[in-house]
Every structure is written in C-alpha cells, then in structure tokens.
Amino acid sequence: MYIRLSMHSCMRNLKFFAAMEAHDAERDDAPESLYAWEGVFTRSWESVREAADGTLHGAADHARALRPEVFAGVKRGVIRSVFLVLDASTHAGMQDLDMPPTRLNVIADVASEFVRAFFDQNPISRLGVIVMRDGKAEPLTEPSCTARHHLSAIASLELEGGRGEAALQNALELARESLSTVPSCTSREVVLLSASLSTCDPGDIHQTAAALRNEKVVVSIFSMLAEVYVCKKIAKDTGGDFGVPIDVEHLRSLVMSLVPPRPTEADSRRAPAHSLVRVGFPCRAPPKSVLAFSPAGGLAAAAITDAQYQCPQCSAYHTELPTECAVCKLKLMSSVELTKTHHHLFPVPTFSEATLPPRDDERARCFACGDALPIAAAAALGGGAAGAAPMLTTGYECPNCHRAFCAACDGLVHGTLHTCPGCEERPPS
C-alpha cells in the first residue's frame, strides 16, 4: 500500500510539472499584441477528435495521436554522430507570414528544441552545428556530448541575423569530412534546415551526394519555402527524410521525428558496422582545482578548474559527463546515460484505447496516478437509452499487464519514463 501511494504521488507530481512546462511554453510563444487578429492564426478545432465512445478528446489526446508508432524488435544505432546544418542566409532572415517573425527565428527555435530533445534521448551521442551564410559553410560548434554550448551558439546566431547566400555543397562537404573520422560503429547523420530556393556551390553537388552515400551518411533535409529537386534527390539517395513544412508546428514535428535513433538498414553496406566499444565509467570524486577538460573544447579547452571525474584509463580530469577523453579518446559516461538509451531498443508498447467496465474502484482509476478515469455512457457506443445505460470508464490499456491509464499518464510513460509501471510491478516469471 505504501509503495502504491508513493507511485501515485510521484505520477501526480510529474503530471503537474509537465502541465506547468506546457503552460510556460505557451505563454512564452504567445504574441504580445492587443487584438486577436494580430496574433498567429491557429486551427484550434484540429486538436479535437472523436473517440471510440463518441466523446470528444482534446489537445492531450491529439498529441497522443501524433506520436510516432512504436516498433519492437528493430535494430537501432544508439551511438550517433549528427551534424545540424542551419541556413542563415539572407533568405532565412526575411519575414514570413507562415513562419513568423522570420524564418531564421523559426529555424533557431526549432533547432534549440531539437538539441534539447536529442541529448535527452541520446546522451551518449555527439552533435555539431554548421551554419550556411556568405556563400560558405562555417562550423558554429564542434561535435560534443553536451547541449549547453550548442544552445548558446544558436541563440547568438538568431541575434546576428541572416546574410549572403547559402552554400549547400560546402555544408555537406564539411559535414562529410568531419564524419569520416568517426568510428564505423557510429551512425552518421546530417539534418539540414533550408530556407533558400538557390545555392552557391563551387562544384558538382551530385559528386558530393555520391560520396555521402558511399560513406554511409544519412542526410535529411527540410525546405521551408518549396520542394527543391536537388535537396529531395540527396535525401532520397542517402536514405534520409525530406519534407516541406506548411507551418511552424509541421516543421517542429518533422524535425523532432529524427530525435529517436533510426532503424538499422538491412543492407549491411549502408548500415553501421558491428563492433565492441570501449567505455569508461569514472567515479565521482570530490571537486578539486586541477587541469581539467570540458566536454566542448578538447585539448584546447584545458583549464585550471574544479574537476569531478577522472578517466579510469589515463587519469585525466574532466568536468562533466558524458564526454570523450581528450587524451586517450575513451568514451566516458555514467550508468544513468547508458540506461537512457535502453528504451530505444526495448520500447514501451503503444497503449490501446479501450472502454473498461468499472468492476471496482481500483479498475475505474488510473493505475499510475490514481485519478478517476473519464466516464462515458454506454449509449454513446450504441447500448440503448442513455438513462438506462450503465456507466463505463475510458482509458488506455497496456497490452502486457492490462492496466488502465489516463491520457496524461500515457504521455508521461511513453515520453518521459519509458517504462510501464504496471509491468514493473508484476513479479518476475
């Protein structure tokens, strides 16, 4: 009983904090205007849909419907090396009614959200940022395992504004040269956000696409203005995704779909090689002022600072985890980061929407938080008159443990916990 009450209180707290974060994000994104017609046009009726029992479901269930389908038993590369390429040309700095206030602001906001979600679900992977402007490609940040310096660099890019022309070939070549040095067991990906209809290339871009395909680099491109043939062809040839978003939310959904690791292709010539990876688990030590390395800089970023971790192989000091040792190139991480990648290989199955008879009080409540499940009359399902119809509860049922959950807990289980509380409570067989 004490364990059950503790689980209920924890789930209620998680639901509260998730609602507060959503409210703060909605308040921050709200336009500072006095009149409704000056704000951003939203189709609020699209977030309402009809459920199986005839009732109307709101935004929480709409987000559940947009959740990608879960596939079990699929091989995925959990160690990833990704380059995020951002268009900061003059075309990106222009104002757009569909992407307000400017396309560059939208690119920066979506890229920042992608970086946060990427490191939350892929803590042992690396990410770097490349910017296209002035007819060339510039490395905005070096590949690393921390999101802090990526977010600060993207914020500064948003303040600088766009200038010059975009150079698609230069950006892809820069990403290809950097990815050619990563181990063969690491999946190599490029995510490019384009806001231009033209590109300033110094050579044949088709040769670059062929080189990317030969080196197993997957390129996903999202063009904010229109479908560009060369971008779509590069994405198709390398096995990536291509899309033309119609608004900000569509762009966000397209980019965020690349946060989970991609399934490994059956073609062994294009899939990452299978090999053992040496990993070090340094113990946390009392902080002391020594020559330590930060996750972002490597050998050049060594400074006298408070170090908390020591490499078990070369005894070099580091300030944060996860990281790669700048001296011996050993991957350093904690057990928490390693377990965060477990849910990609063994995902929680999708809960099915079901109408459940309230046989007792426990069955009529959410198994996680203990709140009462929504009630719908059987007449909505064609069971006769509403006055004589028995009352039924609607919820989301786990196919393994057959426990019922509310919509909010269903989102927390699949989006944050990545484990079913009902399945964890069952004794091992």
Q: Using one digit for the tens of pLDDT, what is the confidence trace for 315-348?
A: 888 888 888 888 888 888 887 777 777 777 778 8
Kindly state whether residues 249 and 319 are assigned to the same domain: no
Kindly state whether residues 300 and 184 are assigned to the same domain: no
| pLDDT tens sequence across 353-367 | 877 665 555 567 888
Kindly state the average pLDDT of the residues 399-418: 85
Token digits of residue 107: 């690119």
Among the candidates 341, 358, 385, a domain finishes at 341
> What is the maximum alpha-carbon separation in the chain?
77
Distance CA(377)–CA(77), nearest Å, equals 46
Collapsed DSSP state (helix, strand, coil) of residue 47: helix
Kindly state whether residues 99 and 171 are assigned to the same domain: yes
Any domain includes 90: yes
- Measured between alpha carbons, how far is residue 373 from residues 54, 59, 325, 366 in Å? 16, 17, 50, 6
pLDDT recorded at residue 385? 45
| pLDDT tens sequence across 66-118 | 555 565 556 777 789 999 999 999 999 888 888 888 899 999 999 999 999 99
User: Which residue in 187, 248, 258 sits closest to 221, CA to CA?
Assistant: 258
Kindly state whether residues 122 and 97 are assigned to the same domain: yes
pLDDT value at 139 more than 50: yes
Among the candidates 256, 288, 308, a domain finishes at 256
Distance CA(58)–CA(43), nearest Å, equals 13
Pairing type for strands 375-377 and 391-397 reads antiparallel
Kindly state whether residues 284 and 379 are assigned to the same domain: no
pLDDT recorded at residue 423? 86
Task: Tell me the percentage of the chain whose pLDDT exceeds 90.
Answer: 28
pLDDT recorded at residue 129? 96
CATH number for the domain harbouring residue 360: 3.30.40.10
pLDDT recorded at residue 240? 93
CATH number for the domain harbouring residue 90: 3.40.50.410
Question: Sheet containing 126-133: which strands, arranged edge to edge?
Answer: 136-144, 126-133, 80-87, 187-194, 217-223, 242-243
pLDDT value at 12 more than 90: no
pLDDT recorded at residue 386? 44
Among the candidates 341, 359, 385, a domain finishes at 341
Distance CA(17)–CA(136), nearest Å, equals 43
pLDDT recorded at residue 16? 61
User: pLDDT class for 154, splitting at 50, 70, 90?
Assistant: very high
Any domain includes 370: yes
Kindly state whether residues 171 and 90 are assigned to the same domain: yes
Distance CA(13)–CA(15), nearest Å, equals 5
Kindly state whether residues 165 and 116 are assigned to the same domain: yes
Is the peptide bond between 123 and the residue preceding it cis, with omega within 30 degrees of 0? Answer: no
Kindly state whether residues 174 and 306 are assigned to the same domain: no
Looking up tokens 């690349």, which residue turns up? 258
Any domain includes 71: no
Beta bridge partners of 394: 355
Any domain includes 394: yes
Any domain includes 118: yes
| pTM for the whole structure | 0.75
Token digits of residue 279: 């990993």
| pLDDT tens sequence across 289-320 | 777 887 765 555 677 777 778 889 988 888 88
- Top pLDDT among 36 and 309 is at 309
How many structural domains are present in the chain?
A: 3
Distance CA(365)–CA(363), nearest Å, equals 5
pLDDT value at 417 more than 70: yes
Kindly state whether residues 124 and 157 are assigned to the same domain: yes
Any domain includes 26: no
- Top pLDDT among 223 and 396 is at 223
Query: Following CA atoms 107, 192, 333, 419 in sequence, which dihedral angle do they give, to the nearest 10 degrees?
Result: 80
Kindly state the average pLDDT of the residues 382-403: 67
pLDDT recorded at residue 77? 74
Q: Are 311 and 323 in contact (CB under 8 A)?
A: no
Any domain includes 319: yes
Kindly state whether residues 105 and 197 are assigned to the same domain: yes
Mean pLDDT of the chain: 78
Any domain includes 13: no
Task: Tell me the percentage of the chain whose pLDDT exceeds 70.
Answer: 72
Query: Domain range holding 222?
Result: 80-256
Distance CA(111)–CA(90), nearest Å, equals 18
Kindly state whether residues 303 and 327 are assigned to the same domain: yes
User: Which residue in 95, 178, 201 sits closest to 129, CA to CA?
Assistant: 178
Kindly state whether residues 210 and 235 are assigned to the same domain: yes
User: pLDDT class for 254, splitting at 50, 70, 90?
Assistant: very high
pLDDT value at 225 more than 70: yes
